Structure 1
Amino acid sequence: MKRMFWLPVSLAVLLLVLGGCGKKENEAHHASADNNLEPIKVELKVNPTEVQIGAKVTFEATVTHQGNNVDDANEVMFEFWKDGDKDEDHSKEIVTGSGNGKYVFETSFDEAGQYHVISHVTARDQHSMPSADLTVK
């Protein structure tokens, strides 16, 4: 009879101990995840912002997280289009890093007009989409 009493008590104690260990690990995971809640920062530069037809234009996205350069972004893509273009006419170029958190793409335009660019940056489980404009004369 005593054996029948100790078996459920032993199992209950074992479950409490294992449950408590799991909770501590889970709490530690949440605490470390909270440290990464700071958003990535993406600074998009277009140089120059006013160009002649056929002249080179550089798109540069500088990516940082918690004050450090991000050289291992999952994806950096520049999407650009002329004002009034349909969505399917947007150009999209995926680029790799060139160091120091910089992702650069160079292009030129063969039509005058107002153009728009968005840098789509995915890094540190986050996505950022800063935009800029340029004029082609």
Structure 2
Amino acid sequence: MKRLLWSVLLVLSIVLSACGNDEEEVATCENTLAPIEVELSWSPNNISPGENVTFQLNLSHDNLPIADPQDVALEIWEHGNEDYHYLEEVSKTNETGVYTLDWEFPEEGVYYAYYHVTACEMHRMEKEQVIVGDPDVEQIEQEEDTVESMWGHH
């Protein structure tokens, strides 16, 4: 009987210790030599004009998700079109370090998504080209993109 009781207690302690480990590990920002990492993606990959697109940013530092960045924004503009230029705050999701923005491009063209992230006392920004529809990308890129970033960088 004592063996059975000890066996039950052992199994119960294992189960309880596993359940108590539900806290997610997040970046502490202590390693100042490691940069913040930002992964930008969007879905669907092949975008049609008028179609809803979801941009997703995954933020991490030292291979751990960043729980509380100071700033996360996405700047979107069309190549050479100063009238189509927006700076949008992105929404935090239920998953730590993951942010999204839903967007709809009105017409075919070459656009840019430029993320701006401040976290762990570092700033990171990078521009990605987004093709909508089936434009003549080569011809469009021959014209200089005169749109300046709202953050003073291009």
Provide TM-score, normalisation by structure 2. Answer: 0.62
RMSD of the TM alignment (CA)?
Answer: 1.9
CA contact under 8 A between 1:49 and 1:133: conserved in structure 2?
Answer: no
Give 1:34-113 correspondences, 5 Å limit.
35-86=31-82, 89-98=84-93, 99-113=95-109
- Name the aligned partner's letter for residue 67 of structure 2: D
Instruction: Give 1 or 2 for the bigger CA radius of gyration.
Output: 1
- Name the aligned partner's letter for residue 52 of structure 1: S
CA contact under 8 A between 1:61 and 1:102: conserved in structure 2?
Answer: yes
Q: Matched residues in 2 for 1:97 and 1:131: separation? A: 21
| 1:57 to 1:89, Cα distance in 2 relative to 1, 3 A | same
SS in 1 for 2:96: coil
Identify unmatched segments of 5+ residues in structure 1.
1-32
The number of equivalent residue pairs is: 104
Provide TM-score, normalisation by structure 1. Answer: 0.69
Give 1:10-49 correspondences, 5 Å limit.
35-49=31-45
CA contact under 8 A between 1:46 and 1:132: conserved in structure 2?
Answer: no
Q: CA deviation at 1:122?
A: 0.4
Q: CA deviation at 1:89?
A: 4.2
Q: CA deviation at 1:118?
A: 0.8
Give CA deviations for 1:108-130 in whole Å, capped at 9, x if unaligned. 01121011101100000001112
Answer 1 or 2: which has greater helix percent.
1
Match of 2:127 among 92, 117, 131: 131
Q: Matched residues in 2 for 1:95 and 1:35: separation? A: 26
| Counterpart for residue 26 of structure 2 | none
- Name the aligned partner's letter for residue 110 of structure 2: Q
Q: What is the percentage of aligned positions where both structures have the same residue?
A: 33
Identify unmatched segments of 5+ residues in structure 2.
1-28, 134-154
CA contact under 8 A between 1:44 and 1:130: conserved in structure 2?
Answer: no
